[in-house]
Amino acid sequence: MTHRIAITRPVSRSISNCELTHLGRIQIDLENARRQHQAYEAALRSLGVEVLSLSEEPDLPDAVFVEDAAIVLDECAIITRPGAVSRRPETESVARALIPYREMFTIQAPGNMDGADVLTIGKEIFIGLTRRTNQSAIEQLRAFLAPFGYSVHGVSVSGCLHLKSAVTQVAGDLLLINPAWVNESNFPGSEFIGVDSSEPYAANALLVGEALLYQPAFPRTLSRLEAADIHPILVDQSELAKAEGALTCCSLIFRV
């Protein structure tokens, strides 16, 4: 019988020195951030996910955002080359954790890629072209995945850090999207729920099997999900949001 594993990592004690692109720096309450992250891990465990928590990286402020270090598919894993130079050391420990589970490929220079720019829907992979991910990395990923039957599509993104800040899968072919940041035409065959315009960061949700994790910070968009008969598990991540973090960023979830 298969089950799901989530690789996570504790919030670094240096989180206040995190990279920022679109937000101003606001003081992050480390202890509250850690409590919220532990609640996030507990929510995953409640769904039957085995949580594999790596060691804290005290000198790597953004290391809690493990999603950016790798892409994990059924057939293989791809170790990324994060667009922020300060984040590249994060990949080593994530790669070690994945070795027992997957064949591995690695993005090489001049490619840059953050995992949060990668949205996988079945055999379709959509990759945001952002400040953190470039065309070279997309071409490398396309070559790695061609033998496994994946189609890889570059997607223009503006106004936000990552593709999954702008769009995520919430059920089947249903996507939650901020159309101001990414165009619906990039995802043919999908249906959409648009975020409330007063909640631009509300498009990030974490789908785990049939369950959806979502933040209580976006009540108007939450009402739109509930109107579509989607009733998420609410997980507060308001502290890590100050570091431009989101629910998908904080775990690498895969089947074994």
Known catalytic residues are: 162, 249
Rounded-to-integer distance, Cα 75 and Cα 59, Å: 32
Please choose, from the candidates 243, 178, 233, the residue with its C-alpha nearest in 3D space to the C-alpha of residue 206.
233
Give just the sign of the alpha carbon dihedral 111, 114, 119, 123.
Answer: positive
Whole-number Cα distances in Å, 144 to 139, 151, 164: 9, 11, 22
Measured distance CA(111)–CA(73) in Å, rounded: 20
User: φ and ψ at 13, to 5 degrees?
Assistant: -65, -15
CB atoms < 10 A from the CB of 140, how many? 20
